[in-house]
Structure 1
Amino acid sequence: MERFRESAALSLGVELELQLVNTHDYDLAPYSDEMLRLMAKIPLPGSVVPEMTSSMIEVSTGVCHSCSEVLGELAQMRDALVRCADRLNIACVGGGTHPFQMWHEQRIYDRPRFRQLSELYGYLSKQFTIFGQHVHVGCPGPDEALLMLHRMSRYIPHFIALSASSPFVQGQDTQFDSARLNSVFAFPMSGRAPFTLRWEEFARFFAKTTRTGVVKSMKDFYWDIRPKPEYGTIEIRVFDTPLTIERAAALAGFVQSLGAWFLHEQPFAPQEDDYMVYTYNRFQACRFGLEAVYVEPETGTHLPLREHILQTLERVEPHARDVGASAALDLLRQSADMGVNDARWLRETQSRERLLAETVRQAADRFRGPRARG
Structure 2
Amino acid sequence: MTIEWNPSPGPTLGVEWEVQLIDAQTRMLRQDAATVMAGLPGLAESGEHPKMRHELMQSTVEVVTGICGTVAEAKADLDVTMKELQRTAEPHGIVLAGAGTHPMSDWRDAKMAPSQRYSELVEQIQWPARRLQTYAVHVHVGLRDETRVMPVINALAVYLPHFLGLTASSPFWSGIDTGLASTRSVVFGALPNTGPPPGLPDWTHFEQYMDTQLRAGTIRTIKEVWWDIRPHPDFGTVEVRIADAVPTFREIGMVAALAQCLVQLFDSQLDRGYRLPVRSQWVVRDNKWRATRYGLDAIVITDDAGATAPLRDEIYELLRELEPIAWRLGCANELAVASEVLECGASYERQRAVYGRYADLTSVVDALVTEFAEDRFILTESGRHRG
TM bucket, shorter chain: over 0.9
TM value normalised by structure 2 = 0.91
Q: 1:109 to 1:46 in 2, by over 3 A?
A: closer
Q: 1:90 to 1:151 in 2, by over 3 A?
A: same
RMSD: 1.9
> What SS does structure 1 have at the residue aligned with 2:84?
helix
Identify the residue that residue 124 of structure 2 maps to in structure 1: 120
Identify the residue that residue 382 of structure 2 maps to in structure 1: none
> What SS does structure 2 have at the residue aligned with 1:182?
helix
Instruction: Map 1:36-75 to 2 at 5 A.
Output: 36-41=37-42, 47-75=51-79
* Greater CA drift, 155-164 or 25-34: 25-34
Distance 1:283 1:103 in 2: 23
Identify the residue that residue 309 of structure 1 maps to in structure 2: 315
Write the deviation string for residues 177-207 of structure 1: whole angstroms up to 9, x where unpaired.
1110001211121122232232122111111
Distance 2:174 2:238 in 1: 33
Identify the residue that residue 92 of structure 2 maps to in structure 1: 88
Q: 2:337 aligns with which of 331, 346, 351?
A: 331
Number of equivalent positions: 369
Identify the residue that residue 280 of structure 1 maps to in structure 2: 286
Q: 1:298 to 1:316 in 2, by over 3 A?
A: farther
Contact 2:129 2:191 in 1 (8 A): no
Identify the residue that residue 32 of structure 1 maps to in structure 2: 33
Distance 2:245 2:233 in 1: 24
> What SS does structure 2 have at the residue aligned with 1:136?
strand
Contact 1:294 1:304 in 2 (8 A): yes
Q: CA deviation at 1:125?
A: 1.7
One-letter code aligned to 1:354: A
Distance 2:129 2:254 in 1: 30
Q: CA deviation at 1:299?
A: 5.0
Identify the residue that residue 108 of structure 1 maps to in structure 2: 112
> What SS does structure 1 have at the residue aligned with 2:138?
strand
Contact 2:248 2:375 in 1 (8 A): no
Q: 1:110 to 1:370 in 2, by over 3 A?
A: closer
Q: CA deviation at 1:215?
A: 0.4
Identify the residue that residue 215 of structure 1 maps to in structure 2: 219
Q: Does 1:186 align with 2:193?
A: no
> What SS does structure 1 have at the residue aligned with 2:67?
coil
Q: CA deviation at 1:115?
A: 0.2
Q: 1:297 to 1:39 in 2, by over 3 A?
A: farther
Q: CA deviation at 1:48?
A: 0.1
Q: 1:245 aligns with which of 249, 252, 267?
A: 249
Contact 2:8 2:144 in 1 (8 A): yes
Contact 2:21 2:95 in 1 (8 A): yes
Distance 2:212 2:269 in 1: 34
Write the deviation string for residues 300-354 of structure 1: whole angstroms up to 9, x where unpaired.
3211000000001101111111101110121112222x26101111111122222
Distance 1:298 1:315 in 2: 22
TM value normalised by structure 1 = 0.94
One-letter code aligned to 1:133: V
Distance 1:36 1:278 in 2: 39
Percent of aligned positions that are identical: 27
Contact 1:82 1:368 in 2 (8 A): no
Q: Does 1:166 align with 2:173?
A: no
Q: CA deviation at 1:298?
A: 4.6
Contact 1:244 1:367 in 2 (8 A): yes
Instruction: Map 1:315-354 to 2 at 5 A.
Output: 315-336=321-342, 338=343, 340-354=345-359
Q: CA deviation at 1:239?
A: 0.3
Identify the residue that residue 181 of structure 2 maps to in structure 1: 177
Identify the residue that residue 102 of structure 2 maps to in structure 1: 98
> What SS does structure 1 have at the residue aligned with 2:9?
coil
Distance 1:194 1:277 in 2: 12
One-letter code aligned to 1:286: T
Q: CA deviation at 1:77?
A: 1.8
Q: 1:299 to 1:315 in 2, by over 3 A?
A: farther
Q: Does 1:12 align with 2:13?
A: yes
Q: 1:146 aligns with which of 144, 150, 167?
A: 150
> What SS does structure 2 have at the residue aligned with 1:216?
coil
Contact 1:39 1:80 in 2 (8 A): yes
> What SS does structure 1 have at the residue aligned with 2:158?
helix
Distance 1:70 1:320 in 2: 15
Contact 2:33 2:60 in 1 (8 A): yes
> What SS does structure 1 have at the residue aligned with 2:276?
coil
Runs of 5+ unmatched residues, structure 2:
377-387
Contact 1:291 1:339 in 2 (8 A): no
> What SS does structure 1 have at the residue aligned with 2:28?
coil
Write the deviation string for residues 42-63 of structure 1: whole angstroms up to 9, x where unpaired.
89x9510101011111011011
